[in-house]
Structures are given as C-alpha cells and as structure tokens.
Amino acid sequence: MAEFRTERLGQLMQEMISALVMEGKIKDPRVSPFVSITRVNVSRDLSFADVYVSNIRENASIERSAEGLQSAAGFIQTCLGASLRIRKIPRLRFHADTSIREGFDLVQKIDQLTAPH
C-alpha cells in the first residue's frame, strides 16, 4: 500500500512542478522553458523526493536547469505545500536526466544506418 501512495504522490508532484515551470513561476534564468520533469521518486518515509529533469537541448542546459530548480526548491516546496494535503512535504533533490537526449541520439544513429546510400 505504501508503494502505491509514494507513486501517486510522485506523479502528482511531477504534474505540479511541470506546471510551475510551464507557467513561468520559477524566475531563475537557468531554468529553461524547454525543461521537462521526467519522473519523481519519493522515498518510503516521504522525507525526500528525487526529481529528474530533462531537456531536448544539449546536456549543459540540463545541468544548469537542474541547478536552477535546486536553488528554487524552497519556493517549489512552498507551492506544493499549499496544494497537497500531506503533513510534511518531501525535500526536493533535482537531478539531470539525459535519457531522453540519449534516446534521441540513438534514433538518429539508427536512421543514419538504415538510410539508403
């Protein structure tokens, strides 16, 4: 039962953080408007939430966006606390997620290999 709760909370937090980014409420210039929140893993005791950030652009942009979001973590936690009805909001830890970019590069390589010469 606890796994279902943490997964559901992670999905809800993912949607809310994505909405904050899309609405431009995070004013840090390092946070790109092309940032997407790929997943949120909440710890079993609800003390931490690992938020994975991705971007279609270059990897340096992902790192900068993750740093910008980490510096705005207090603001984001405050916004989450106003909307979520849980006793304690997990501390947010932002990580760069390069899996989308790597997948995009892999598809391009496959296309190059299968293209007629």
Integer Cα distance of 112 and 106 in angstroms:
10
Number of domains composing the chain: 1
Q: What is the pLDDT of residue 1?
A: 46
User: Which has the higher per-residue pLDDT, 2 or 21?
Assistant: 21
Rounded distance, CA 67 to CA 71, Å?
6
Q: Does the pLDDT value for residue 91 go beyond 50?
A: yes
* pLDDT of 115: 81
> Mean pLDDT for the chain?
89
pLDDT-derived band of residue 117, with 50, 70 and 90 as boundaries? low
* Domain CATH number, residue 60: 3.30.300.20
User: How far apart are the C-alpha atoms of 96 and 37, rounded to whole Å?
Assistant: 10
Reported confidence tier of residue 59, pLDDT bands at 50, 70, 90? low
Which residue segment(s) compose the domain that 108 sits in?
2-114
Edge-first strand order for the sheet with 36-42 is 36-42, 48-54, 91-96
Six-digit token string for 77: 């936690």
pLDDT of residue 32: 83
- CA 90 to mean position of chain CA atoms: 15
- Asked if residues 53 and 98 have their Cβ atoms less than 8 Å apart, the reply is no
Check residue 116 and give its pLDDT: 80
List C-alpha distances in Å: 79 to 13, 68, 82, 101: 10, 16, 5, 29
